[in-house]
Amino acid sequence: MSSDFNNHPLAHLMQSDFGLHDPTRREAPVFRDATLWPVEQLVAQIVADGIHILVNPNGYRRGARNEVFAARPAPTQMSFMGFAGTLEAEWCDYLLADETTVQPSMLQP
């Protein structure tokens, strides 16, 4: 879920990711423009779609819909790519980052 699926560096970087999905194992058959959707509608759609892993590339940048993630509509939620750093949020289960972005000394055991 991102506000950056347009002519934005994040969208350009993620183009190949969608092509690597194995449709026999997992698939995102639709993309929805939910820009104007209220939080409740977006949460309900994520639940109805049976999303297993909800990815937040926005972090705390403009256009983020963190209130959707706070509602925990998916069993696993993670931060990836668009926000360099930890969200320090209870609703973020995982952070996919390298050791430059998040140094090992910053991690909790």
* CATH number for 35: 3.40.50.11380
Residue 84, domain member (yes or no): yes
pTM: 0.71
User: According to the 3-state scheme, what is the secondary structure of the chain?
Assistant: CCCCCCCCHHHHHHHHHHHCCCCCCCCCCCCCCCCCCCHHHHHHHHHHHCCCEEEECCCCCCCCCHHHHHCCCCCEEEEECCCCCCCCCCCCCEEECCCCCCCHHHCCC
Structural domain of residue 101, as residue ranges? 9-106
Output the tens digit of pLDDT for each of the chain's 109 residues. 766 566 666 666 666 666 676 777 766 667 788 889 999 999 999 999 999 999 888 777 777 888 999 999 999 998 876 665 566 778 888 887 778 777 788 777 6
Number of domains in the chain: 1
